[in-house]
């Protein structure tokens, strides 16, 4: 199979879909690899490293899309990239289709087969290709929130850890999954007083058993969430419904109960955001104010630490990429129901139920396609 990796073109996105080591593994499996010139530079990989791995370097994204059987990326294809996709081609990347009807329509029209990192599952029900970026985003969230809290950025001017005689910041994390756990750990490590809200009692018990008094846990009833949000200096939105649009857990009306200059960090923004007032921003222009509350809603947070993120993502995606290349997508998803869960689009058909429900589109059963 010919595997192609274009340069990411989403604003301020420095990650790359293939590392030189991943390219070398694909070549060792008997596949060919082409990489767009300069694709890895933002993550610290020059063209020479790819050539040494056995990959070919091509000048343009158009050549990558025209020649490759499988396109491996990081972020969802932008409009100009979607126009280059074709029937019979395999796209392997993050998609986040539920809040993105335009992308969904374009993928359906292209005839491409698209497997989304974020909906591939593991036997234990976890999301192995989303987890590494969730870990990165979770660890970044308090750091970005602390920056947003600085007075020069419109925030309250509160230091996360306080100082002797002055209390620390109050941080509330909504969601106790991978993102929330990592966010809570880092925020607590910065000296903040942290509360994690979640609706799963087993998850709350697990967090309590593992982390003890590092941070506080609380059941996320509507009343408890409203109470915690009102007293917080920073609220980190870390909820996820796999493949579906994020639920709106904090309304605009609730902003009036928050402290002026408090910071919201919406890590769920890729799936539409979990605050009513959230809208996607970029690293170049990351924050905005609504009713006195500062919002940080960058849709590709891990891109800020591109090298760490690229290496972590490649560690997770490489085995799946090799399986798809070795077997072909149809046999690969027929043999593995967890990889089949990643199939979102095929030949003009939508194949992921949560996306269909979010966008009001018909869905085709993936079992029929894999048969």
pLDDT by residue (tens digit) across 34-48?
999 999 999 999 999
| Domain's final residue, options 270, 299, 328 | 299
282 shares a domain with 175: yes
The whole-number average pLDDT for the span 204-210 is 94
- Is 57 domain-assigned? yes
155 shares a domain with 103: no
Report the C-alpha gap between 114 and 106 in whole angstroms.
12
Share of the chain above pLDDT 70, in %: 99
179 shares a domain with 63: no
The whole-number average pLDDT for the span 79-105 is 96
27 shares a domain with 91: yes
pLDDT in tens, 145-172: 999 999 999 999 999 999 999 999 999 9
- Split at pLDDT 50, 70, 90, the class of 369 is low
Is the pLDDT reported for residue 241 higher than 90? no
161 shares a domain with 263: yes
pLDDT of residue 370: 53
Q: Which of 198, 270, 295, 346 is catalytic?
A: 270
154 shares a domain with 46: no
The whole-number average pLDDT for the span 280-292 is 95
| Domain's final residue, options 299, 331, 359 | 299
71 shares a domain with 198: no
pTM given for the model: 0.88
70 shares a domain with 11: yes
pLDDT of residue 181: 96
- Is 125 domain-assigned? no
- Is 253 domain-assigned? yes
160 shares a domain with 109: no
Split into its structural domains, the chain has a count of 2
Instruction: Identify the CATH number of the domain in which residue 198 sits.
Output: 3.40.50.720
Q: Is 270 a residue of the active site?
A: yes
Q: Is 96 a residue of the active site?
A: yes
168 shares a domain with 80: no
Is the pLDDT reported for residue 368 higher than 70? no
- Is 229 domain-assigned? yes
The whole-number average pLDDT for the span 286-309 is 96
Provide the domain limits for residue 28: 2-120+307-370
- Is 126 domain-assigned? no
pLDDT in tens, 1-22: 999 999 999 988 999 999 999 9
- Is 87 domain-assigned? yes
Q: Which of 31, 96, 338, 346 is catalytic?
A: 96
179 shares a domain with 114: no
pLDDT of residue 240: 82
312 shares a domain with 292: no
pLDDT of residue 243: 76
pLDDT of residue 143: 97
pLDDT in tens, 124-152: 989 999 999 999 999 999 999 999 999 99
Enumerate residues 6+ apart whose C-beta is below 8 A from 154: 148, 261, 287, 289, 294
| Domain's final residue, options 238, 272, 299 | 299
- Is 89 domain-assigned? yes
- Is 208 domain-assigned? yes
């Amino acid at each position: 199979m010919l595997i192609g990796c274009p340069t990411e073109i989403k604003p301020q996105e420095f990650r790359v879909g293939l590392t030189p080591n991943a390219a070398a593994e694909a070549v060792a499996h008997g596949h060919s690899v082409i990489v767009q010139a300069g694709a890895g530079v933002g993550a610290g990989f020059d063209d020479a490293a790819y050539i040494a791995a056995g990959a070919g370097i091509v000048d343009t994204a158009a050549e990558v899309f025209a020649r490759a059987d499988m396109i491996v990326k990081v972020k969802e294809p932008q409009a100009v990239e979607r126009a280059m996709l074709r029937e019979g081609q395999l796209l392997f990347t993050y998609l986040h289709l539920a809040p993105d009807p335009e992308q969904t329509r374009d993928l359906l029209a292209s005839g491409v087969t698209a497997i989304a990192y974020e909906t591939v599952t593991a036997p234990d029900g976890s999301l192995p290709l989303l987890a590494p970026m969730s870990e990165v985003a979770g660890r970044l969230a308090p750091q970005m929130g602390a920056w947003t809290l600085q007075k020069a950025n419109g925030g309250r001017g509160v230091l996360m850890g306080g100082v002797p005689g002055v209390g620390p910041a109050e941080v509330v994390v909504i969601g106790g999954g991978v993102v929330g756990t990592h966010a809570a750990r880092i925020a607590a490590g910065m000296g903040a007083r942290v509360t994690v809200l979640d609706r799963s009692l087993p998850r709350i018990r697990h967090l309590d058993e593992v982390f003890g008094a590092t941070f506080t846990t609380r059941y996320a009833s509507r009343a408890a969430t409203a109470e915690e949000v009102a007293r917080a200096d920073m609220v980190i939105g870390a909820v996820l419904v796999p493949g579906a649009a994020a639920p709106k857990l904090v309304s605009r009306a609730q902003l009036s109960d928050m402290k002026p200059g408090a910071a919201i960090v919406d890590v769920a923004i890729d799936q539409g955001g979990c605050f009513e007032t959230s809208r996607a921003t970029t690293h170049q222009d990351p924050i905005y104010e609504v009713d006195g509350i500062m919002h940080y809603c960058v849709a590709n947070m891990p891109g800020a630490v591109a090298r760490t993120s690229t290496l972590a993502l490649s560690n997770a995606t490489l085995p799946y990429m090799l399986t798809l290349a070795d077997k072909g997508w149809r046999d690969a998803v027929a043999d593995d129901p967890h990889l089949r869960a990643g199939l979102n689009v095929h030949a003009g058909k939508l194949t992921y139920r949560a996306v269909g429900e979010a966008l009001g589109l018909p869905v085709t059963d993936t079992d029929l396609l894999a048969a």
